[in-house]
Amino acid sequence: MYRTLHRFAETLARVLALAGGAVLLGLTALTCYSIIGRALIPLDMGIGPIRGIYDMTEIGMAAAVFAFLPWAQFREAHARVDLFQWAIPTKLDQFFDLLFNAAMAFVAFIGTQRLYYGMQDKLAYGETTLIAQIPVWQGYAAGLVGAVGFVIVALFCTLRAARRLAGFRDIAT
């Protein structure tokens, strides 16, 4: 059962991270196209900047950041201070890991909940971006995909930390 959960959490985190990377690559391509189009305006070649590129970049960056959070959590790559870790007994260190993972799962849940409520608010009022007139709720929805993945992976990581504290060995990744 644990092995299946491990595989699911890892696959979910990896797929979301790859999707976030694809979004960043797409944004890079759009930005380059827009810059080249802006530079070619004086030559009157029919290419111009992309209207609303700032709106698209803002939404895409937010979605990408949320998509990367599950992978960072799964790989235990969040920032932490290990200044005194060498002096702490192993079981106490594992307890702190469990505490950190539980706190991160709680923060992920609250953040996802607030993001969902924000999306509902933007949907109800029909707010759009200034230039491209993109419905703002769509940006929230894109971020919500990664945020839900973050909650799922953070809950798995809490289980993983509890197993370590209980003396179970990690599955080799």
Residues 31-86: tens digit of each pLDDT: 999 999 888 887 877 778 888 999 999 999 999 999 999 999 999 988 777 777 78
Residue 113 lies in a domain: yes
pTM of the model: 0.90
Q: What is the pLDDT of residue 173?
A: 53
Tell me the pLDDT tens digit for each residue of 135-171.
999 999 999 999 999 999 999 999 999 999 999 988 7
Identify whether the C-beta of residue 65 lies closer than 8 Å to the C-beta of residue 111.
Answer: no
The mean per-residue pLDDT over the stretch 102-115 comes to: 97
Residue 90 has pLDDT above 80, yes or no: yes
Residue 35 lies in a domain: yes
Question: Residue 158 and residue 5: Cα distance in Å, rounded?
Answer: 12
Domain limits for position 156: 2-166
Residue 103 lies in a domain: yes
Residue 17 lies in a domain: yes
* Residue of 78, 62, 74 whose CA lies nearest to 20: 62
User: How many structural domains does the chain have?
Assistant: 1
* DSSP character string of 121-168: HHHHHT-B-TTT--BHHHHHHHHHHHHHHHHHHHHHHHHHHHHHHHTP
Residue 160 lies in a domain: yes
Residue 148 lies in a domain: yes
Residue 172 lies in a domain: no
Q: What is the pLDDT of residue 126?
A: 93
Residue 116 has pLDDT above 80, yes or no: yes
Residue 49 lies in a domain: yes
Q: What is the pLDDT of residue 172?
A: 62
Residue 28 has pLDDT above 90, yes or no: yes
Q: What is the pLDDT of residue 171?
A: 77
